[in-house]
Chains A and B, each alone.
Chain A
Amino acid sequence: MAIRINGTDVAVPDDARVSLLDLLRERLHLTGSKVGCNQGACGACTILVDGERALSCLTLAVQMDGRSVTTIEGLGSAEDPHALQTAFIEHDGFQCGYCTPGQICAAAAMLREIEAGVPSYVTPDLTAPVLVSREEVRERMSGNLCRCGAHNGIVDAILQVAAERAA
């Protein structure tokens, strides 16, 4: 029984009530994943499960047995930051910094979703290739709330990284 978290195997907790978020923050001291609502309404706890974005607050840790979880701590390091982390600083895509790890994890997965051709509610043609646009990014990032109002900087940072990758 183990969950792979940022490349390290971690034992599944005995108490089935323990959420993945609580496991990360309180037992592993990986506090980069944040608690904003504990009910799937804000996105601050976003992590990657087998590369796809998910909410760690509504995920019971026991369900993650055998899965691979990446948190903000596993996404980039001080020496080798993720391109999104650098771009968020450049574009001031945060103020208080609390929703930020969730925004960045969500954005990392979202760019892969676009690359894989997955449409969104605002995609005009569901069968045509998906183009990166401001509106697409805004819709796809809407599950991550920000109260400081860093939305413009967040979207600018993501668009920059998307453009760099496309180049």
Chain B
Amino acid sequence: MSRMQNAVVESVKTVLGWVPAQWLPGGTPDPLILRRAAIGRQASRLDGPEKVRGQARFAAEVAMDRLCYASLVHSTVTLGRITRLDTANAEAAPGVILVMTHRNMPRIGTLALIGLTDLSAVGNSSLPIMQEPAVRYNGQVVAAVVAETQEEADHAASLIEIDYAVDTAKTRFDDAKDKARTPASILIEKNHVSVGNAERELGRAPHRVDNIYRTPGHNHNAIELHGVTVAWQGGSLVVHDATQMIAPSANALAKLFGLKKEQVRVLSPFVGGGFGGKGLWDHQVVAVAAARLVDRPVRLMLSRDSVYRMIGGRSPTEQRVAIGADADGQFTALVHTGYSIMPPYGACPEQYTLGTRALYRSKSFEIVQRHVDLDVVPNTFMRAPGEAIGTFAVECAIDELAHAIGIDPIELRRRNEPDRHPISDAPFSQRALTQAYADGAKRFGWERRLAEPGARHDGEWRIGMGCASGSFPYARMPGANVRITLRRDGSATVSCSAQEMGMGTATVQVQHAADRLGLPVEAITFEMGDSALPAGPMAGGSSQTVSVAGAIMAATEKLTGELLRLAGNDSPIAGLRAGDVRLVDGGIAGINDPSRRESYRSILARAARDEVTVSAAGSAPLEMLKFAMHSSSAIFCELRVSKVTGEVRVDRLLGSFDCGTILNPKTAASQFKGGMIMGLGLALTEETLFDERSGRIMNATLADYHIPSHLDVPEIDVMWTGIADPRSPLGARGIGEIGITGVAAAVANAVFNATGKRIRDLPVTLDKLL
């Protein structure tokens, strides 16, 4: 985001500040907040029967005639150029159809980086893809082999010989800090925030903490490997992809390969986990190019090793958090600065300070992020980018300050709870973190915590409790489109290119559409996962549900108008206007006089129509600019630390969430828990081992990168305030990412409570506790 865009966003916010709330979308709360039937119901997933039988079809599972298989070769050097490339043995190997390198890869442009300027700007890297001999990071794709079977392709790939001229690469984080850049903005927020003189306030404060926190790199590690099955059909392209961004990917591929939008179809009905990693990377582009050259359908499923080498993860960070407080514990200074990696060809600024702006009141702030430029696979967005690790630093610091002052950490947070956004002064659309804490503390039994560290024992184990706040901003994406077809038989189909990667997309939107259209859930079909459908936004930023919901709202308004028009003058609802009616019980009824109603069946029959179809886009998400809209949470953890081995075992984990309306308690609980479990991995076991000598990731396997196993995961308790957000569709805010936030701090704070040891470098491994 440029300085100019920064200025534009700022000025829009300023203007919006003068506009009365009711003029803005969401100004009048969504009426469904008060009358829900299917929404809020504990419904099982609609796609459950397919998933438990292994019948859900993922991208690398599409059968095709004459299908052939691709395998990739990655650079083994970090920076340099290819000086010799011998593909003869590979080409001569059994079953080989094509060896593709920069020499014969079709000439294409580069991908536009993820941004807000253009809906096809979804690239994670702006580097050329197999277009030149230059190598920019260790693991970059340098060749692809296509063969009759996967075994033959993999073998032939191992026969390609490459020599490189190697340049000195930037691979050491600490060395590169001196040359770190200070960007003007972080996503759409101004980067450097300076309110008052925080350093001076810190110096004067009677209580203060000032520490450095470090978090390592992480990888998404969705269990489904990135995979794509590609077929050129005439001049058109069909891509079965595992992607979180169906419509934008189709646009981007069209642009890259010089096709019209209609000539590219991306299908992705099921994605086997995404977490930010299933975007548009080099492999889709290579597969599309290879399929064109061999003129056959091509399947490319990355190996797990390839996923680590060419799909970026979460950047490591080094963060300074300093807090000064007066005698009453009121913050006088809040400093959050640090370094993360962001190569110039990457898209993700790892926004670890953004959440800090909205969490606490303080007399002064000093917030700024600096980007370290290394020669690495570009890092990208990974579940709660920024907040997942930013909350680790800030929420540990809060705990440290509470300990220093000698007050309960929840009480310290309560004393600094803001009533408006602390930086922008915008009103919160809704915020009940204090209540979430109170409810959570009660259920968890927080009062049993002993403030003195190391005071509780059970045999070999020291026991501790900790808590921390989580937070994640609300987002609704522009460009969400849906089509609604309502039929005379009282059924309806809602269509959108939306993505399903485990959130329960169809399940929840069916519940929503049922209530919105006044139909039973059985009458609704939700079509998705296909770029041929009306374009939905990417699944990212915990925004898909409300984005699609906003579009369904808009389409329903249009449908209502259309139905009123079709109803004509002979209807009981004749003369009523869109604002006077609601859709209920399979028809339209007057709000003030519900006896004036007519069923869809009757309206369509009289109009001699089998169905009526409308398409609409969601309104511009201006509520995000007018209000401070954030979800927040209180995470509680109880754990044991072995006095013998330092092993940590989490016994209890509770999340108390304030995230607006909960649309489906069953799937929502799963999403919260899923985020919290990823948070346990972040806290205790996960670390991408980047060898700074070579620039190479060394634990590119699921055996050596430890995501939590069943035995690492205790029974997790989740609860929520359920207070609707009056500014959002359905009163809902996203829930996909907030679960992970705050967990690492809650664990580290519990470890401190158990042992008296303050671990500021993640993960909290046992050697740090011996």
Contact = CB atoms under 8 A, between A and B. Distances in A.
Interface of A: 15, 17-18, 22, 25-26, 29-42, 44, 71-73, 76-78, 81, 84-86, 88-90, 92, 94-101, 104, 122, 134-135, 137-139, 141-155
Interface stretch (B185-193, B221-229, B591-599): B221-229
B151 interface: yes
22 contacts: A15-B151, A34-B272, A37-B304, A37-B703, A39-B703, A73-B53, A78-B49, A86-B52, A92-B45, A92-B669, A95-B273, A95-B504, A96-B273, A98-B58, A98-B224, A135-B711, A137-B710, A145-B707, A146-B223, A148-B273, A148-B674, A153-B670
Given A95-B674, A97-B51, A98-B58, A39 B304 contact: yes
B710 A144 contact: yes
Contacts of B304: 36-39, 41
Interface residues of B, number: 65
B44 A96 contact: no
SS of B interface (majority): loop
Interface in B137-164: 149-151, 155
Contacts of A134: 715
Interface stretch (B331-339, B446-454, B636-644, B675-683): B675-683
Contacts of A29: 63
B61 A31 contact: yes
Contact of A95 (B58, B301, B502): B502
B503 interface: yes
Nearest to A85: B52
B703 to A, nearest CB: 4
Contact of B54 (A22, A33, A95, A153): A33
B222 A100 contact: no
Nearest to A158: B710
A136 to B, nearest CB: 10
Contact of A41 (B155, B675, B703): B703
A98 B221 CA distance: 12
Is the contact region of chain A dominated by helix, strand, or loop, or is it mixed? loop
Nearest to A134: B715
A159 B69 CA distance: 41
A144 B711 CA distance: 11
B275 interface: yes
Contact of A71 (B54, B667, B675, B701): B54
B117 interface: no
Contacts of B55: 32
B702 A22 contact: no
Nearest to A101: B54
A39 B304 CA distance: 9
Interface in B472-531: 500-504
Given A90-B44, A147-B707, A152-B715, A81 B151 contact: no
B119 interface: no
A92 B667 contact: yes
B270 A96 contact: yes
B10 interface: no
Contact of A138 (B45, B502, B711, B716): B711
Contacts of B677: 149, 151
B203 interface: no
Given A76-B53, A152-B713, 10 more contacts: A35-B60, A94-B51, A96-B224, A96-B272, A96-B500, A96-B502, A97-B56, A142-B711, A145-B709, A149-B739
Most buried by A among B45, B51, B666: B51
Nearest to A93: B52
A139 B678 contact: no
Interface string B60-95: 110100000100000000000000000000000000
Which 8 pairs show the lowest CB-CB distances between chains A and B? A32-B54, A149-B674, A95-B502, A98-B272, A97-B51, A96-B502, A149-B677, A41-B702
B47 interface: yes
Contacts of A96: 222-224, 270-274, 500-502
Interface in B17-60: 44-45, 47-58, 60
B753 interface: no
A36 B273 CA distance: 11
B272 A149 contact: no
Contact of B151 (A18, A78, A122, A148): A18
A88 B501 contact: no
A146 to B, nearest CB: 7
Nearest to B674: A149
B110 interface: no
Contacts of B57: 31
A58 to B, nearest CB: 12
Given A36-B223, A38-B303, A153-B670, A22 B150 contact: yes
